[in-house]
Structure 1
Amino acid sequence: MKRTLIAHENPRSPISEQYRTIRTNLDFASVDSKLHTMTVTSAGPSEGKSLTTANLAIVFAQQGKRVLLVDGDLRKPTVHYTFRLDNVSGLSNYVAGHGDTVREIAQPTQVDGLDIVTSGPIPPNPSELLGSARMEAFIDEAKQKYDLVIFDSPPVLAVTDSQVLTSQTDGALLVVRNKKTEKEAANRSKELLEQAKAKVLGIVLNDVPQKESGYYAYYGNR
């Protein structure tokens, strides 16, 4: 199934405008402290997290930022499918200590200013790798080369990977799907992120009927 990068393919569409609205709200949410790294997660699978992450990365790049989108899901990666890239070498190679640099594993995209680091080969110990000193080194190196580094991470209720990752970034965005994600699951996800000392930047509710409030709604963390 084709995964539509609508913010790139149809930037004037109502949905693309909603992504830009989320971008603006994130800019305001980080007005007191620079948002240099961000994790995007969801409560469970099939919430639209990865497609939301990809289109957000695109609209930030369209703003003129140098953006790196990193597939931090070392269990069921999808970013390479979305952008039609190979996944021979990526994040897992770097954090496993194979001597790779961010510049060597980052791949350019058809979007000006947006590079991708895919997941790389699926490792047997994702949580340990994401919480390692090599992961800290990856983030530090990426911050030197890019204005914004966005991590697409696994669902927070499924595995501990997202908690590990969000604790190392400047903020977390939680994606939930209208009429699918239970309120209890969304609240529990937010609690887990906060327990990991993550700054919850807000919640994106997708699949909202257009007549109600567009396709996407953003709720800031108050």
Structure 2
Amino acid sequence: MEQQQNWRGNFQTFRQVIPQMEELPFQAREAINVLRGNIQLSGYELRTIAVTSAMPNEGKSSTAFRLAKSMAGLGTRTIYLDCDIRNSEVMARYQIQQSVCGLSEFLCGRVSLNDIIYHTDDPCMDMIFTGAVAPNPSELLSGPLFVQLLEELKKNYEYVIVDTPPVCPVIDGALIAKKCDGTVLVVECGKTEKTLAVKATRQLEYAGVRILGAVLNKVGASNKGYGYGYGYGYGYGYGYGEGNTKKAAKAAKKQNKAAQKANAKSGRDKKRA
């Protein structure tokens, strides 16, 4: 605990938020842990990890936040950085009521880094919110202050999990991902069109982004879904393009088949009880 207080003391901030989250089923927690392990084994010096998607509402923000929690669960210093300045729902999703300063205020030069870092109830995880809605997110994210921010965070955290805007509607996601060490693309099972997934992949590749792999989200989810859009499992696959995207999806479905059966059996057992 003393070591933890020392590194947090670098920022000299006493601001704290307590995100309210529902407990994930065992299979979903394990899938996030598998994603964490795959990222850790994807190469040397992968510190800033962007999480994006082709279109909105595919689960990239939930995936990014849960990934940050999983990283912090290992005792590694982790910060979740919300960069979806145009349309973030993080504060509402995790029931954070207090007023905060965030990324947009920092990129405008109005506040310092110390002013936008918020501790959580997890001693190894901090957060940066988007802050006020800005009329020019692309210009702010393209500026030198964003690069400086990432470099400063890398000095104090072992992992920086960067939640980006979706890639296809706006350029922001590719701009952010290019400045990160690696990127994970979230694809919603049964919803994301193949053409959009391929388009998002090509946009990232054209921008020179290092793509680590894909998360197939909401695999085996019921009609009601779970929590904030999580299904009962995740697939993780390397490689892209039309053929590789199909292979990743097929492998992910196979990987989660047992989890779906287990959940169905659990539901039947509860009804009998």
Of all paired residues, the percent bearing the same amino acid is 34
Q: Which runs of 4+ in 1 moved over 6 A?
A: none
The aligned counterpart of 1:70 is 81
**What is the total number of aligned residue pairs between the two structures?**
212
Give 1:199 shift: 0.3
| Aligned CA distance change for structure 1 residues 89 and 168 (closer, same or farther; 3 Å) | same
The answer to which structure, 1 or 2, has the higher relative contact order (CA under 8 A, 6+ apart) is 1
> Does structure 1 conserve the Cα–Cα contact (< 8 Å) formed by 2:101 and 2:115?
no
Give 1:4 shift: 7.3
TM-score under structure 1 length normalisation: 0.89
Q: How does 1:60-209 map to 2 (within 5 A)?
A: 60-85=71-96, 86-101=98-113, 103-209=114-220
Residue 167 of structure 2 aligns to which amino acid in structure 1? V
User: Which 5+ residue runs of structure 2 have no aligned equivalent?
Assistant: 1-18, 222-230, 241-273
* Cα distance per residue 1:160-204 (max 9 Å; x no partner): 000110110101110010010011111111111111111001000
Alignment of 1:17 onto 2:30: yes
> Does structure 1 conserve the Cα–Cα contact (< 8 Å) formed by 2:20 and 2:95?
no
**Stretch moving more, 107-116 or 184-193:** 107-116
Give 1:208 shift: 1.2
Secondary structure at the aligned position of 1:40 is classed as: strand
* Cα distance per residue 1:39-76 (max 9 Å; x no partner): 11001011111111111110010011111101100101
Residue 215 of structure 1 aligns to which amino acid in structure 2? G
> Does structure 2 conserve the Cα–Cα contact (< 8 Å) formed by 1:142 and 1:149?
yes
The aligned counterpart of 2:62 is 51
- Following the alignment from structure 1 to structure 2, what is the Cα–Cα distance between the partners of residues 135 and 202? 24
> Does structure 2 conserve the Cα–Cα contact (< 8 Å) formed by 1:57 and 1:150?
yes
Secondary structure at the aligned position of 2:104 is classed as: helix
Give 1:87 shift: 4.9
| Aligned CA distance change for structure 1 residues 182 and 71 (closer, same or farther; 3 Å) | same
User: Residue 220 of structure 1: which of 203, 221, 238 is its match?
Assistant: 238
TM-score under structure 2 length normalisation: 0.73
The aligned counterpart of 2:258 is none
| Aligned CA distance change for structure 1 residues 18 and 178 (closer, same or farther; 3 Å) | same
* Cα distance per residue 1:99-143 (max 9 Å; x no partner): 412x32111112231110000101110001001011111111111
| Aligned CA distance change for structure 1 residues 94 and 124 (closer, same or farther; 3 Å) | same
User: Which 5+ residue runs of structure 1 have no aligned equivalent?
Assistant: none
Secondary structure at the aligned position of 1:130 is classed as: helix
Rg bigger for which structure? 2
